[in-house]
Amino acid sequence: MSPRADVRRLQLIAEEAARIIADEGVSDYHSAKTKALKRLGLPAKTRLPNNSEIEQAVILRQGLFQGDTQATAVRELREMALGLMQVLSEFDPHIVGPVLKGTATEHSIIQLHLFSEDPKNIAIALLNLGIEYQAIVRRQHSKNPEGYKGFAFIWQEADVDCLVFPAHKLRVSPPSPVDGKPMRRADQLELERLLAS
């Protein structure tokens, strides 16, 4: 296969994976790429675009096809996240992921990082708020194969994942599942500024 054909095939896979993410609510990039391969009838060993290329394709697709509806979904999810961050303020919540980046869809999960030396404190706070949660472990990057522990629950009709970190790890952000660089986090004040802009 010529280099030009290989680049075009990577673009096709990225575009189909972006469609799956944006339209079907698949949040895991690897799953979206695997589905894209099947739908395009390509062999399982086909070279895949990296997650950054998928994210760029998602942004392009959202700009072309979802415009106002996607912007409205992001704003609504950010407003819900802010309300939750206010309620959980004792755990220094920081928002991460697509809702912060602005690439969220109506299907996206609100992702928060909470900080406490003892995750039981967060579990108790959630119970006191009447929130039924499920304990979770999220494996987001190969640099931490055991994953990050946290809680999943529903907040104002949105799915939420809260991962828990020790308080002294506030300045140490885990690697992003998209590009492996430290995840961008925003505290309540920064999210308020985003909503005001």
Q: What's 182's DSSP letter?
A: B
Q: How far apart are CA 15 and CA 173, in angstroms?
A: 29
Q: How far apart are CA 183 and CA 180, in angstroms?
A: 8
Q: How far apart are CA 197 and CA 183, in angstroms?
A: 22
pLDDT at 44: 84
Length of the chain: 197
> Is residue 19 within 8 Å of residue 52, measured between CB atoms?
no
pLDDT at 179: 79
Residues of the chain with pLDDT under 50: none
- What is the DSSP code string of 80-127? HHHHHHHHTGGG--EEESHHHHT---TTPPEEEEEE-S-HHHHHHHHH
pLDDT at 1: 63
Q: How far apart are CA 153 and CA 159, in angstroms?
A: 6
pLDDT at 141: 60
Q: How far apart are CA 123 and CA 111, in angstroms?
A: 16
- What is the DSSP code string of 157-184? TEEEEEEEE-GGGTT-PPBPTTTSSBPP
CA distances from 188 to 48, 73, 89, 99, 162 (A): 36, 19, 8, 13, 15
pLDDT at 143: 60
Mind listing the pLDDT tens digit for each residue in 27-42? Answer: 788 888 899 999 989 8
Q: How far apart are CA 153 and CA 24, in angstroms?
A: 21
Q: What are phi and psi of 148, to 5 degrees?
A: -115, 135
